[in-house]
């Protein structure tokens, strides 16, 4: 019998978002400790399975964070994505994403997952704006966010320290009004995209 946790919450062109299963806790720890992934994260310490479990539990209990597993349509775990520091008054939130194995990067999984997260943020939670930041050397992150409609809003000079030196922080943001036409175009060529919305007519 398949756990309800493995039921896709949102289904895109290439990936689905769903709840995090307990069996995936160790995968999260392995992902964070991978040097290629760790380099681009904003955390500065290694991670144990216990730390990952506490992180996931904290996310689910908090009103300011929402966390989802990114899975292929065969339910193969690919990574994590989430909303963080949700401000319910100003209707904005930051977002973060990790794709695990190197062979799963550069295949459009991150873009698809981010489009689904944007749908959840803008069309379910009624948020007005999303934002994110990245190290200046993380060009891949900047490019896929741009595909989803994010615009560069600023550059904090030598704001973050990594690998022995200071780096600029690239600040990007996205408004719901900017994203909606991108979403309509994105979903128009794929009838298999499934998101929670009423069927009218």
Q: At 122, is the secondary structure helix, strand, or coil?
A: helix
Residues 45-61: what's their mean pLDDT? Answer: 69
**pLDDT tier for residue 43 given thresholds of 50, 70 and 90:** low
**Buried-exposed string 170-182: b where 16+ CB fall within 10 A, e elsewhere:** bbbbbbbeebeee
In terms of Cβ atoms closer than 10 Å to its own Cβ (0-12, 13-18, 19+), residue 169 is middle
Q: Please state, in angstroms and rounded to a whole number, the distance separating the CA atoms of residues 171 and 66.
A: 21
**Buried-exposed string 38-53: b where 16+ CB fall within 10 A, e elsewhere:** beebeeeeebeeebbb
Tokens of 10: 């949102």
Q: At 93, is the secondary structure helix, strand, or coil?
A: strand
Residues 116-132: what's their mean pLDDT? Answer: 96
pLDDT above 60 (res 184) = yes
* Domains of the chain with CATH codes: 4-188 (3.40.630.30)
**Buried-exposed string 135-150: b where 16+ CB fall within 10 A, e elsewhere:** bbebeebbebbeebbb
Residues 115-131: what's their mean pLDDT? Answer: 97
**pLDDT tier for residue 100 given thresholds of 50, 70 and 90:** confident
pLDDT above 80 (res 182) = yes
Question: Of the candidates 157, 47, 62, 68, which has an alpha carbon nearest to the alpha carbon of residue 118?
Answer: 68
Listed in sequence order, the DSSP H helices in 93-138 are 109-119
**pLDDT tier for residue 102 given thresholds of 50, 70 and 90:** confident
CB 145 within 8 A of CB 132: yes
Return mean pLDDT, the chain: 85
């Amino acid at each position: 019998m398949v756990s309800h946790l493995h039921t896709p919450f949102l289904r895109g062109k290439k990936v689905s978002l769903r709840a995090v299963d307990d069996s995936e806790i160790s995968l999260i720890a392995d992902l964070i400790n991978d040097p290629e992934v760790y380099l681009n994260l904003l955390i500065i310490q290694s991670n144990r399975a216990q730390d990952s479990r506490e992180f996931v539990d904290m996310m689910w209990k908090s009103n300011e964070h929402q966390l989802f597993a990114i899975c292929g349509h065969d339910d193969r775990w690919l990574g994590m994505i989430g909303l963080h520091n949700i401000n319910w008054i100003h209707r904005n939130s930051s977002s973060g994403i990790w794709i695990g194995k190197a062979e799963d990067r550069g295949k459009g999984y991150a873009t698809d997952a981010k489009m689904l997260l944007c749908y959840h943020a803008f069309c379910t939670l009624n948020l007005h704006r999303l934002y994110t930041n990245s190290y200046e050397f993380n060009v891949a992150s900047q490019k896929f966010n741009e595909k989803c409609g994010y615009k560069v809003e600023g550059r904090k000079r030598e704001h973050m320290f990594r690998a022995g030196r200071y780096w600029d922080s690239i600040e990007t943001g996205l408004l719901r009004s900017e994203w909606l036409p991108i979403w309509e175009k994105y979903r128009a060529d794929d009838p298999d995209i499934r998101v929670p919305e009423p069927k009218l007519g």
